[in-house]
Amino acid sequence: KNEVEQSPQNLTAQEGEFITINCSYSVGISALHWLQQHPGGGIVSLFMLSSGKKKHGRLIATINIQEKHSSLHITASHPRDSAVYICAVRSRGYGGATNKLIFGTGTLLAVQP
């Protein structure tokens, strides 16, 4: 079993739909990242959070430390949101000072016009 699990693995949505991607982890963490990877390969860091909720534009990320679960929400989805979304955690066991991450397998999102 992976230490970081994401669901769904693949998601197809219609433009305008509200989208939720889930991430569960089994290790103690100091922070959780949501990343976006476009087809060209480059990765953009969307959020880093250790508690509560963060919002940036149409994107919202939440985390429940007790349940070891995080969600990424996209409101009013658009075809340009099509990408792979990756959840990554910084495990306490790895030593927070090194910022080493454990990655989920990603969620491939396709938003159709």
Partner 1 sequence: GAVVSQHPSRVICKSGTSVKIECRSLDFQATTMFWYRQFPKKSLMLMATSNEGSKATYEQGVEKDKFLINHASLTLSTLTVTSAHPEDSSFYICSASRAGASNQPQHFGDGTRLSIL
Q: Does 48 bind partner 1 (CB under 8 A)?
A: yes
Closer residue to partner 1 in complex, CB, 80/113: 80
Choose the stretch contacting partner 1; rule: CB under 8 A; options: 11-19, 20-28, 36-44, 60-68: 36-44
User: Could you tell me the smallest distance in angstroms from the CB atom of residue 61 to partner 1?
Assistant: 13
Judge contact between 109 and 85, C-beta under 8 A: yes
> What burial class does residue 80 get, using C-beta atoms within 10 Å of its C-beta: 0-12 exposed, 13-18 middle, 19+ buried?
exposed
Q: Does 13 bind partner 1 (CB under 8 A)?
A: no
User: Could you tell me the smallest distance in angstroms from the CB atom of residue 58 to partner 1?
Assistant: 19
Contact residues toward partner 1 (CB under 8 A) are: 30-31, 33, 35, 40-45, 48, 50, 86, 90, 96-101, 103-106
